[in-house]
Structure 1
């Protein structure tokens, strides 16, 4: 699937659909509207944008009109993270990790997780 650009606000709708979808229009408003201080009209606008981007689909079903994601969370996260690495770090992951290590203290848990990941990658290579 081609890359779909999703705004921060639109991603709130997507997260609700990934976690609890399919959802009715009212269900989406209940999940993201109040938490973000958005009126139903604002949520409807976000849903309309996502429909136009083909990130979600809406369909009349016996239980009412339901929206569901067409884009998986995994593929969205992969695309967004690759875009970040490409734009800011020349496509290389090591400078990204170094940036976090230098500018945001990594916890012992973070370091242990990174060590396990590197060990697994070494074993798989």
Structure 2
């Protein structure tokens, strides 16, 4: 499932806050992105058609909830990025960032820790 950058703003709000009504999404996401009500409702309808969210009636009000978990979405998007740009390989991605963007000492330490954990898991 492909979720656009704009649609992901709606999803982030739903993942963070749980079921929300259209008016909540217009107020929270729409205002932050300078989107009007029509734009937010268009994005909601796209996500409904993609089956990324579901609508449910509660106390006479329609609320929307995610059908896709954030970890599953991040996993799919991450793998898609690796597949499209780096042939599915993680090392070229890390190399690209290391060559084109200064890694902070904290990022280098986190990478070293991750590698050490992965190596200890293999033993």
Structure 1 length-normalised TM: 0.95
The answer for the alignment partner of 2:34 in structure 1 is 37
The answer for the alignment partner of 2:107 in structure 1 is 110
**Alignment root-mean-square deviation, CA:** 0.8
CA offsets, 1:52-108, max 9 Å, x none?
Answer: 000000010126211000000000000000000011101100000000000000000
Greater relative contact order (Cα 8 A, min sep 6): structure 1 or 2?
1
- Find the aligned partners of 1:78 and 1:63 in 2 and give their Cα distance: 35
1:47 aligns with 2:26: no
The answer for the alignment partner of 2:73 in structure 1 is 76
CA offsets, 1:10-59, max 9 Å, x none?
Answer: 00000000001210111111111011110001000000000000000001
The answer for the alignment partner of 2:92 in structure 1 is 95
Which portions of structure 1, spanning 4 or more consecutive aligned residues, are displaced by more than 3 angstroms?
Answer: none
- Count matched residues: 122
Structure 2 length-normalised TM: 0.97
- Find the aligned partners of 1:113 and 1:62 in 2 and give their Cα distance: 47
| Secondary structure at the counterpart of residue 20 of structure 2 | coil
